[in-house]
Amino acid sequence: MREYRIQALRQVISDYPIGIIERRYIKAELPMLPFDDKSFDLVLSGHFLFTYSHKFDFLFLLSSILELFRVCSREVRIYPVHGSNAQPYEHMVELLSSLKVHGIVYHIIPVPFEFQRGSNQMLRLTR
């Protein structure tokens, strides 16, 4: 895992200068993204929203997820669904209810890996 992380970091560092010029790296901040509706087929969020849910309130998480969904044309994947304490997000039932109210189809599905102990599920939103 360490080698993969080092390799990924080196790739980003070597690509970054030209990526900035080509606008492949764009500064953005949730819960509002600078992209048009349905700009991307697939939107990924890894090790952020639920991992740091102890630092964000429910409204921030919901708004961020709705924003990720707004910019996708097909699917959003959020991994993991656990916090940094390896516990499931404590307001998941309320969050899923809110997504349903917004007409968003969701599934919590297993993934074939555990990046951190017990984190073997992701939240998948589809259109």
Inform me whether the pLDDT recorded for 2 exceeds 90. no
The token duo for 69 is 């969904």
Residue whose tokens read 């639920």: 50
Task: Reduce the secondary structure of 50-68 to three states and give it as a string.
Answer: CCCHHHCCHHHHHHHHHHH
- For residue 41, give the DSSP letter: E
Q: What is the pTM of this model?
A: 0.89
pLDDT reported for residue 12: 95
- Between CA 126 and CA 72 the distance in angstroms is 9
Residue 121 has pLDDT above 90, yes or no: yes
List of domains in the chain: 28-126 (3.40.50.150)
Which of helix, strand or coil describes residue 43?
A: strand
Tokens, residue 43: 């939107």
Give the pLDDT band of residue 115 (cuts 50, 70, 90): confident
